[in-house]
Amino acid sequence: MVGIKNLSLLALSLISFNSAANDSKAVDEALELDIIQVESKEESQSAIGVDKLLKVPGAGNDPLQAIASLPGVTFGTGPRAAPAVRGSSPADNRYIIDFIPVGYIFHSDSSSILNDNSIKDFSLDAAAFPGQYHDATGAVISANSRDPYLDQGQTIVDLSVLKASLFIERNIDEKQGFYLSARQSLFQYYIENFLDDEDFELTTLPEYYDYQGKYQYKVSEQEKVSINLLGARDKAGILFDEDSDQVQQDPGLSGGAEFSDYFDSQSILWEKYNDEGGSQVSSISRLSRELDFEIGAANKLDINSTDYSIRSQWSSILNFQHELLWGFDYTLRDIDFNGRFDGPPCDEFRVDCRLVDSTETITSGDTINISSIDINIADSWAVNNFWTLTPGISLAYDDYTEQQFFEPKLQSRLLLSDDWALTAAYGDYHKLPDNFGSYTKDFGNPDLKQTEATHYEIGIEHQFNESWFWKVEGYYKDLSNLVISRASTDFYPGLSTEDYNALPRYTNDADGEAWGFEFFTNKTLSDDWYGWLSIAYSETKRKNLITGESFKYDYDQPWIVNLVSNYQLNQDWQIGLKWRYQSGQLITPIIGAEDANDTDNPGLFNPIYADLNSKRLPDYHRLDVRADRSFKYDNWQMDLYFEVLNLYGQENVVGYDYKNADYSERENQTDLPTIPAVGIKAIF
């Protein structure tokens, strides 16, 4: 039943729209882990290079997927895999590629939409991020593609059991170059061989593809213009047998479910840097997203969203103490939708959300136009040789909610000595809900307001020696105006169906908090090995202000531990491991069932749930290993890699599957078994 709730929640919430909708030269580019940001210089001890993230076992040559090995990050389950960071929902994040917001950044299998050969760097701003990032109350994940080579061309073929990719790069002359990438999943060709459940069939095999293109003209050493193309699609479909447990428990699922999610974006990016250290980055972009979803016999939603954006960010050196950082982002969003929906409103606060419990049928179509403007300004102030303080403010307005925001930000870094530093940050943030259906007239509540959050962060870091670095960070997030769906009819026993349906389907009547501590240590390459260890402890809670319920949030996983290590055996071979431990997932168990006495659906039972998120599944742990063998020839080179996921075959329980119409039997849902994999990457 857990999987069905995910399907139902996906449809009933009208699907989330995100807020916008072998590079050998990359060895010295690094990702810093508290914010994980790029350093265009020799790798520091507090950083993990892109080349190292490519070798993380289980990531399949995908450095963005390796984000799961960073402190405080866990991936959500369901039809859209995405990271949950420091107690926030995946829907609270913002995703940016090459200065431009994108529809989504992770496919349904949690792999990223970017070809690893194009990635220059990426950053994870886990909390209290600067004002240039907006429309996010969780985390900001941004990635930058590298410049095309102007002195050589190459063709790269990468083939594994999960996907195939082709990357073509050419230089036109000493000022112009481009590359193109196309990737396709492969598991749709053999996934049915691993399915032994006769209660359903896959009507549309799960699959995805993505493409990427970049053309760049180098005006001078300090100025360049780029044209960027990016797109991705994910789709899947399932049909349940009429006598399946799923249909018996929720007849509304008869007919199955299908979804297709697609986006494409085009942008022109201009970058200019001056001798004084200042810079300007400007872009114009278009982002289009299409979502089609069907669930049950008669529920169908078609959604199209197009964003047109102009964005600029400046950095100006005023004097030896002050650097002015400022910019703006204007976006016009057009949303067209139509569909029919016969089901209750759902959210992460509501565990029982079956289509059969619908009290109304909504048929609607409309066009929504939203204009928003965001302005940010900050002063990077070198107070003295040891202390840098960056105060700033963000101003925002949109003409749909008609809300204005004045949000202060503050970052501080104090050098206690050559080896020790103290960091701190604070900021206020807001976000328009990704689920646009929650704030439309018919499907939701047009009076809904944006969610808000306040972040606090403090840390201390120490450069132990030339190879070892460690840091500890603590954080607190205060969350308000969270969106919840209308409570079930059981909470309003005195209301008629007509009066109940007149209540808003969604309101801002929830709040929450998250706090925690993170320890991270990194060893750079020395004595033929490198690695890092992260340990995170956190607590996250939510409160439904209508029902009065207070509970631990879905993504509350107090302990998360990651250990990653790689050893260079010789010039040709290297081996690595990744071990992950995390507290078990919270669930709401079914403790019984009662006859629904539904004349339209005889034999239907209503499940009786325990308190929300009152049970924690067994702790999760898994070991992945990888071996790489490099081959170098006169005109080409090859990397052959072997991976084994879940080496010691741990049966990690990730949920429960309830059997029969009356939920009388329960089976464990387990994560991946031991899976060997092999891949080959050839560079011509």
- Whole-number Cα distances in Å, 563 to 294, 356, 376, 478: 41, 45, 38, 30
Q: CA torsion, points 627, 632, 638, 641, in degrees to nearest 10?
A: 0
Q: How far apart are CA 402 and CA 187, in angstroms?
A: 46
Over the stretch 98-116, which tens digit does the pLDDT of each residue have? 999 888 888 887 788 988 8
Phi, psi of 140 (to 5 degrees): -120, 125
Strands 47-49 and 73-75, bridge-based pairing: unpaired
**Burial (0-12, 13-18, 19+ Cβ within 10 Å), 302:** middle
Phi, psi of 612 (to 5 degrees): -60, 125
Q: How far apart are CA 283 and CA 309, in angstroms?
A: 8
> Considering the chain, what is the average pLDDT of its residues?
86
Cα-to-chain-centroid distance, residue 379: 30
Contact in structure between 416 and 385 (CB atoms under 8 Å): no
Over the stretch 462-487, which tens digit does the pLDDT of each residue have? 998 888 999 999 999 999 999 999 98
pLDDT over 90 percentage in the chain: 53
Tokens representing 75?
A: 């991936």
Q: How far apart are CA 556 and CA 554, in angstroms?
A: 6
Cβ density class 176-189: b for 16+ within 10 Å, e for less: ebbbbbbbebeebe
**Burial (0-12, 13-18, 19+ Cβ within 10 Å), 465:** exposed
Strands 468-485 and 506-526, bridge-based pairing: antiparallel
Over the stretch 274-301, which tens digit does the pLDDT of each residue have? 888 889 999 999 999 998 988 888 889 8
Write down the residue that tokens 């891949």 correspond to: 679
Side-chain half-sphere exposure of 269, counting CA atoms within 13 A: 22
| Closest listed residue to residue 290, CA positions, set 307, 302, 276 | 302
Over the stretch 2-13, which tens digit does the pLDDT of each residue have? 343 444 333 333
pTM of the model: 0.88
Residue type, 369: N
pLDDT over 70 percentage in the chain: 90
Over the stretch 310-365, which tens digit does the pLDDT of each residue have? 999 999 999 999 999 999 999 999 999 898 988 888 888 888 888 888 888 888 88
pLDDT tops 80 at residue 621: yes
* Sequence-distant (≥ 6) Cβ neighbours of residue 599 within 8 angstroms: none
Write down the residue that tokens 């039997």 correspond to: 665
- pLDDT-derived band at 198 (thresholds 50, 70, 90) equals low
Side-chain half-sphere exposure of 539, counting CA atoms within 13 A: 3
Which residue pairs from 49-52 have beta carbons closer than 8 angstroms and sit at least 24 positions apart in sequence? Answer: 50/23, 50/26, 50/119, 50/120, 50/121, 51/26, 51/27, 52/530, 52/566
- The whole-number pLDDT of residue 128 equals 93
| Total domains in the fold of the chain | 1
In which domain, by residue range, is 443 found? Answer: 2-683
Mean pLDDT score, 122-126: 85
Q: Which helix (H) or strand (E) holds 360?
A: none
CATH number at residue 201: 2.40.170.20
Give the chain's radius of gyration (CA, Å): 25
- The whole-number pLDDT of residue 38 equals 33
The least confident of 9-13, 155-159, 163-167 is: 9-13
Over the stretch 368-412, which tens digit does the pLDDT of each residue have? 999 999 999 999 999 999 999 999 999 999 999 999 999 999 999
Write down the residue that tokens 């979803």 correspond to: 293
Mean pLDDT score, 583-602: 90
* Sequence-distant (≥ 6) Cβ neighbours of residue 436 within 8 angstroms: 14, 17, 303, 305, 335, 337, 368
Over the stretch 542-567, which tens digit does the pLDDT of each residue have? 999 999 989 999 889 899 999 999 99
